[in-house]
Amino acid sequence: MREIVIGAAQMGPIQKADSREAVVARMLALLEDAARAGCTLVVYPELCLTTFFPRWYHEDRAEADIWFEASMPNAPTQPLFDRARTLGVAISLGYAELTPEGQHFNTQILTDRAARIVGKYRKVHLPGHVEYDTERTHQHLEKRYFEPGDLGFPVWRSQGAVMGMCICNDRRWPETYRVMGLQGVELVMLGYNTPSVNSQHGDEGLAKRLYHSELTMCAGAYQNATWVVGVAKAGDEDGHPLMGGSVIVDPDGMVVARATSEGDELLVHACDMDLCNFGKTTIFDFARHRRIEHYGLITER
Ligand code: CDT
């Protein structure tokens, strides 16, 4: 048995006016709860230090830099890293990254239990649009504020398991999981900010949106024999609702923990990485069963 007790730290809404320090105080409270529950890894949402700012249009692109972090850890997040090191709890969190070269990415990092950053992922599938769209009920300007990630879908060995990350819209794409699956991934961590309402399809309904979110994570888990931990930032941000639905999914594609609120809420599960072995050596033994001679179209168009 290779057990990692994992905390999925769903976060409730963050308002435009909330400071990074106030948000980190909430993250610290979730971390303390997780440590008390025996977790050695806590996963926080996408862009978890600020409100989901891509809903706000800045005509001057540079003004949006207020939402970005030029270093990590930095002054507001250092207390989180310090406490995580003391508790011996690894963390994974999403933030808007501004590089020294002036590039902007939607990023998630992974630390080890000594709070050293051991992995970094930059969101590949950026949803939304570049310019203000008068046809939408709300804006989703990720394509305006971020560049597509340039790191691919790497995996890292940590705490005796093969770990990978993706972010929000990435979870809807089978290629995301498969590229990590081909590297033997056993745990995919992801955060998301998903509006409760489809800006282009108002009558879609929350139940279907929650279903699609869970469907993709369960399918990714099953088809690649990996744990998936999906963590929402949820609730009403300045009048804009985000859905919850955080889950921990086992390598059979079954949900073993599911959030019940749209607030700060910790899910805890003891995840045995050895549960990945059966699928990886039988029905999803890629080396034996894949037929890549028929898959060319996937990368041709
Ligand atoms: N943050 C993020 O990627 N959200 C998307 C909503 C896209 S709607 C333009 C998601 O896939 O959940």
Summarised one tens digit per residue, pLDDT across range 139-154 is: 999 999 999 999 999 9
Cα separation, 144 vs 140, in Å, equals 9
Is the ipTM beyond the 0.95 threshold?
yes
Q: Tell me the domain boundaries of the chain.
A: 8-300
Residue 287 has pLDDT above 90, yes or no: yes
Residue 118 has pLDDT above 80, yes or no: yes
Residue 202 has pLDDT above 80, yes or no: no
Which residues share a beta bridge with 188?
A: 164, 228
- Ligand 1 atom nearest the C-alpha of 213 is 12
Please say whether the dihedral angle defined by the alpha carbons of residues 195, 45, 95 and 118, taken in this order, is positive or negative. negative
Residue 157 has pLDDT above 80, yes or no: yes
Given the residues 39, 46, 97, 142, the one annotated as active site: 46
pLDDT of 216-275, one tens digit each? 999 999 999 999 999 999 999 999 999 999 999 999 999 999 999 999 999 999 999 999
- 58 Cα to the center of ligand 1, angstroms: 19
Confidence of residue 55 (pLDDT cuts 50, 70, 90): very high
Per the structure block, which two tokens stand in for 139?
A: 């804006």
- Find the mean pLDDT for residues 47-51: 98
| Kind plus residue range of the DSSP H or E element containing 156 | strand 155-158
What does the pLDDT read at residue 137? 81
- Cβ–ligand 1 distance for 233 under 6 Å, the answer no
- Cβ–ligand 1 distance for 240 under 6 Å, the answer no
218 is catalytic: no
Q: What are phi and psi of 299, to 5 degrees?
A: -105, -5
123 is catalytic: yes
- Burial bucket for residue 246 (CB in 10 Å: 0-12, 13-18, 19+): buried
Query: Percent of the chain, pLDDT > 70?
Result: 100
208 is catalytic: no
- 131 Cα to the center of ligand 1, angstroms: 16
Query: Percentage helix, strand, coil, to 5, in the chain?
Result: 30, 25, 40
What does the pLDDT read at residue 138? 86
What does the pLDDT read at residue 283? 98
CATH superfamily of 8-300: Carbon-nitrogen hydrolase (3.60.110.10)
What does the pLDDT read at residue 296? 97
Residue 203 has pLDDT above 80, yes or no: no
- Find the mean pLDDT for residues 66-93: 98
Mean pLDDT of the chain: 97
- 132 Cα to the center of ligand 1, angstroms: 16
pLDDT of 182-191, one tens digit each? 999 999 999 9
Going by alpha carbons, the residue nearest to atom 7 of ligand 1 is 127
- Cβ–ligand 1 distance for 216 under 6 Å, the answer no
What does the pLDDT read at residue 41? 98
- DSSP states along 206-270: HHHHHHHHHHHHHHHHHHHT-EEEEEEB-EEETTEEE----EEE-TTS-EEEE--SSSSEEEEEE
What does the pLDDT read at residue 204? 87
